[in-house]
Each structure stands twice: as C-alpha cells, then as structure tokens.
C-alpha cells in the first residue's frame, strides 16, 4: 500500500522536507523519508542555525576549519556545504529518474543580507553553485524587487533557482516572468534548458497569521479568518496555469525547459483550533510542490487525506479577496509587510547563526 507521500506524487504533487541537519543525513533519517516518498529538501538560515547550535555534530569539522578561517560566514559555509552536498548525493537517484516533475532537488539560500542587492545576489549564487557543484542544487533567491532581477540573470547563466519569500500574486507573476526571460536568454546563448529548473516558493500560513491579526483589529467576519492563505495560493496556481501555456511557452518547452512550479511553503498550522495538515490537504494539485517541516510531514503521514483540491472553489478564492477588502484589510499592505518581515527574520537568523559560531569557536578553542 502506498504511503500518503507516495499518494501525493500519484496526483502530481511532490512532497519535500523543510529540514536538514548533519545528524539527520548521517544517521539515515533522510534516506528513510526518501524511501517513503520525499523527493526534495529545502533549507534556510533558521534551519541551519538550529542544526549547528544543537549537539556536537559539527565540532570536529569546525575545529579543522577554524585553523585557517575566522570569518563566521565562511565557517558556516564550510559546514553547510558538506550537508548540502550529502543531501544532494542522497537525492541524486530521484533527480536522475528524469521524471517530468523534475524532482530530487536540494535548496540552499543566498545570504539574506543581500536581498536588496541584485548584483551581489547573482555573484553569490554563482559562487555557491560552483562551490557545491551538484546538478540537483537549487539556489534560493528571495523574491524581493532586487531578487527578481537576480532570478533572471541567474537562470540566464544556467543555474537552477528556488524563488523564495513570495507572498503576493504580483511578485509571483514577476518571478515567473523573470524565469521566462532567463530561459530565453539561455536558449539564445546556446545553453541547455533541460539542465535548469525553478520553483516559486509561495508562503501560506504567514499570510493567514497577518491577515487574521488585522481582521481581529477590525472585528471582521469570523469566517474570513484562515481564508486568505489558501485563497492566495489557489490564485497563484491559476496564474501559473495561464503563464505556462501558449505558443511561446510551447517553444521553450520543446527546447527542454520545464515550468516554474508553485511550491507551497510555510505549511505548518499555527492555529491550534484548525486541522494540523490543512495547508497540505487544501493545496494538492498537479505540477506543484509542498515542502513540510518534520512535524507537519509526520502528521500528514499519520492522518493526511489526499485529493485533488487545488482547483476547487477558485471563484470562492476570488470572493475572499473582495470580502477582505470590504472588511478593511489591505491585501497589498499585508503582503508588503510580510516580505519585510520575512527578509528581516532570515537576516536575524543569519546573524544568530554567526553569533552561535563565534560562541562555539570560543568554546572549542578553550578545550
């Protein structure tokens, strides 16, 4: 009998894990989940901060690195690159299957301090891609205004990209159009379109958290709480279906290109009164990805229900936007604030990561 994760794949959705650590890879836990149906891994500064801070799994390598390197960022990269390579190698058989879903990817993020500097983001994307040197590596680039510019340039250089921190329909469309421009440039330069791919990481639960907070402030309709995140994602998928059709896309596809799939991120349920796997169950559809933290993935394996839900009630999703506006919730302001918060949170996690490395360095030197 197929696992629930394998059942997701049967309806065209790829289940990925939003977690990575050295112990998790070394002890076979990731390999076990891949056997159960996980087909990709995402990571971010917060995940690495927690992984490096706990236990002593990184201490031996850190001692070695510290003999020649003091810059906390470079120390972090030396540690993280080893984990990313190991995860890429483990998922390489999935990537090599050559499925139309283009799975087997592992994502690693550029320094979030660069989120508003397109040129520096491209430079770091190129450096990370060369340093990690794995075909199934996604470079994560935030979907800020500068990040969108960097996405086009990075794709044009033949580097696969996970566009992250997407909250708004406008930014999602901009990310897709940047991907298409990059593909055209790569094709015109004689590059291999089949070697690149992209996903657009569209965040879900954070949208509800911010919209619900504003609804509470305005004593808005109770039935609108928890509605925007899923409605927003459904309309993003509607846009995806429109963008990746037509003659121009058909020509790129014939040259080896794959569409920029929607990836549902921030899928853990923050509201204890709602079903813990709601964001997974309500956004299942073909040619999409859902990435889950470990607790959410375990919950879905235990009691998740699989059905093609993504294209249901799309008209209701449009009406949700109208009703939120009538209740005084400004969608554009919600998503703009979430982008600011998202970049700020990742920058803070990166800084805490550097501080933690400095503390570990002091402790290791003292022993």
Q: Please, which residues have CB within 8 angstroms of residue 296's CB and are 6 or more apart in sequence?
A: 267, 268, 269, 276, 277, 280
Q: Print burial letters for 254-263: b (CB count within 10 Å at least 16), e (below 16).
A: eeebbbbbbb
Contact between 253 and 179 (Cβ < 8 Å) = no
Contact between 137 and 84 (Cβ < 8 Å) = yes
What span, in angstroms and rounded, lies between the C-alpha atoms of 261 and 154?
17
Q: Please, which residues have CB within 8 angstroms of residue 56's CB and are 6 or more apart in sequence?
A: none
Tell me if residue 140 is catalytic.
Answer: yes
- Strand, coil or helix: 16: strand
Spatial CA neighbour of 169 closest among 366, 1, 331? 331
Q: Record the tokens describing residue 189, joined without a space.
A: 């330069």
Cβ-based neighbour number of residue 287 at 10 Å: 19
Given the residues 73, 140, 218, 234, the one annotated as active site = 140
Q: Please, which residues have CB within 8 angstroms of residue 279's CB and are 6 or more apart in sequence?
A: 204, 205, 229, 230, 264, 266, 267, 268, 269, 290
Contact between 81 and 61 (Cβ < 8 Å) = no
What span, in angstroms and rounded, lies between the C-alpha atoms of 72 and 270?
33
Instruction: Return the residue matching tokens 């794709």.
Output: 155
What span, in angstroms and rounded, lies between the C-alpha atoms of 107 and 110?
10
Torsional sign, CA 205, 211, 215, 220: negative
Q: Record the tokens describing residue 249, joined without a space.
A: 């896309």
**Residues catalogued as catalytic:** 140
């Amino acid at each position: 009998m197929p696992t629930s994760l394998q059942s997701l794949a049967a309806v065209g959705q790829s289940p990925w894990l939003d977690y990575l650590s050295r112990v998790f890879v070394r002890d076979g836990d990731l390999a076990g989940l891949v056997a159960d149906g996980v087909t990709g891994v995402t990571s971010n500064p917060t995940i690495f901060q927690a992984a490096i801070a706990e236990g002593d799994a990184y201490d031996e390598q850190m001692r070695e690195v510290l003999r020649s390197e003091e810059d906390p960022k470079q120390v972090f990269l030396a540690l993280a690159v080893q984990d990313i390579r190991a995860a890429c190698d483990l998922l390489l058989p999935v990537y090599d299957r050559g499925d139309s879903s283009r799975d087997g990817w592992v994502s690693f993020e550029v320094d979030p301090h660069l989120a508003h500097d397109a040129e520096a983001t491209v430079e770091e994307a190129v450096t990370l891609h060369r340093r990690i040197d794995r075909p199934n590596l996604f470079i994560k680039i935030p979907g800020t205004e500068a990040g969108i510019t960097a996405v086009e340039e990075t794709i044009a250089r033949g580097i696969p990209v996970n566009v992250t921190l997407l909250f708004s329909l406008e930014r999602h469309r901009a990310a897709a159009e940047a991907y298409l421009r990059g593909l055209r440039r790569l094709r015109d330069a004689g590059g291999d379109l089949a070697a690149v791919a992209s996903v657009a990481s569209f965040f879900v639960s954070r949208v509800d958290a911010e919209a619900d907070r504003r609804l509470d402030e305005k004593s808005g309709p109770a039935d609108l709480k928890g509605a925007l995140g899923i409605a927003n994602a459904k309309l993003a998928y509607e846009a995806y279906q429109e963008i990746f059709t037509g003659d121009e896309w058909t020509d790129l596809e014939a040259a080896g290109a794959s569409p920029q799939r929607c990836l549902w991120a921030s899928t853990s349920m923050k509201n204890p009164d709602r079903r813990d796997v709601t964001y997974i169950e309500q956004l299942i559809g073909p040619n999409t990805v859902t990435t889950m933290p470990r607790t959410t993935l375990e919950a879905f394996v235990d009691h998740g229900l699989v059905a093609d839900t993504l294209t249901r009630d799309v008209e209701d999703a449009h009406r949700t936007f109208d009703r939120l506006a009538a209740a005084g919730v400004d969608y554009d302001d919600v998503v703009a604030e979430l982008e600011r918060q998202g970049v700020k949170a990742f920058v803070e996690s990166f800084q805490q990561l550097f501080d933690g490395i400095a503390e570990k360095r002091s402790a290791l030197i003292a022993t």
